Structure 1
Amino acid sequence: MTIERYLTEHQQGTPRQIFRLLRQGRVTVNERVVDSPLLKLTEADQVAIDGLAVSGRDPQYLLFNKPTGMMDSFAPDAQPGLGSLLNTLDRSRALESLADLPRDWAGLVLASDDQPFLADVASQAWASRLQVQLKGQAAATAVQDWQQVTRDYDQLRDVTTLTGWTTAGLAGLPSLAEQVGPTIRLGFGPLSLSIDLAVGTYRGLFVSETEELEKQLELADESPAED
């Protein structure tokens, strides 16, 4: 059996993720780094990822719909934090989040127990898709740092909903005097917040979502060589 098939059968990620793990030198066989997916294994071989036996890794990739007033952290001193939303099984995981969403904002937060993966994602200059509601017939100029802004005016409530993309540091974006309710992150890079994911809940990423994340990370890895 090849190392690629072994890792696939042991649910260590999608094929694209497994190839990237090998390329990054994170897979070892008998404590020696391997990078070829065609390496043949024997029953006596000890396979590990990031120094942890494959049987104990089982990486998790989670998408949270964070409510306002909650910190986007799993640290014990983050109260209330995302850890309070976890079910019993997931509480045993050494989860971390991107931790870039202000406490008074709501919406999409990515979390995982695969710290190198999170570090790779955090290093990307991916845009966030944000939504804000403003009192009255607000113009898109109210969010000057946003791109591809759409404007939807609700005459009955006299509220304008603005949705757009920004690569600006989220913590540095000011609140608007005419703002009604929190700023909500609906998307981040290739990820989108599911309509059916209620506020204060989470789910695992779909295979298509992890594949797209890995694809975008691969493109970023290749971009320097193209310059």
Structure 2
Amino acid sequence: MPRKDLTFTRSTSGLQTKYDEAIKILEYSIMMVELFDVKEFNNVIAGQLRLILCDTVKKDGVKTDNSLLRKIEDDPKLFRINELTEINNGSSVILGEMFDYYKTMIPLDDWLKQVIYIINVQGKKQSITIFDTIRFAANKSGGAHVDESLKEKAFLVDVHAERVLCQIAKGVLKAVGKDFMEDSKENISYLIKKFKEKASE
């Protein structure tokens, strides 16, 4: 009788490595979008944000949290958003910087529930949270899957995700102690160095 497949448990250092990899991918992806205008990397940003912040796994019919950040930190906290400003016809957005880096940080669950814009669609207001943005951008708009048909809220995320994904990602990096611009300088220097090495082979 053939044996069952073995199950291996990833070590703490192994989880840390995967987390560091995800953060590095996030850094490079923001860099590609913001510094080199390669917008397609928004899809990568969406996928990494889901992996780091709000990934789930279903086992025995029960959905449980599988986010990398919770595996690294017991009680992760991130920055609060700035206030929404009504712009027209009942729609509201955050003008300028998305996050307030001076207020007390809040737990991840509360952070994900923060509304980052409200869109009035034919008299019905749709409130889009950080979680909505990450989930729909990753699961339905190219981060990991692409759906042919989209319900109203998922469609709004599909339209507006490009405008907010980098802001969300940079807020996450700052919350975990990263400096995007300084790290980008190092990352670009590394790419130039590797390119020169390969070009001279």
TM range (shorter): under 0.3
TM-score by length of 2: 0.28
TM-score by length of 1: 0.26
Structure with more of its chain in strand, by fraction: 1
**Greater Rg, structure 1 or structure 2?**
1
Structure with more of its chain in helix, by fraction: 2
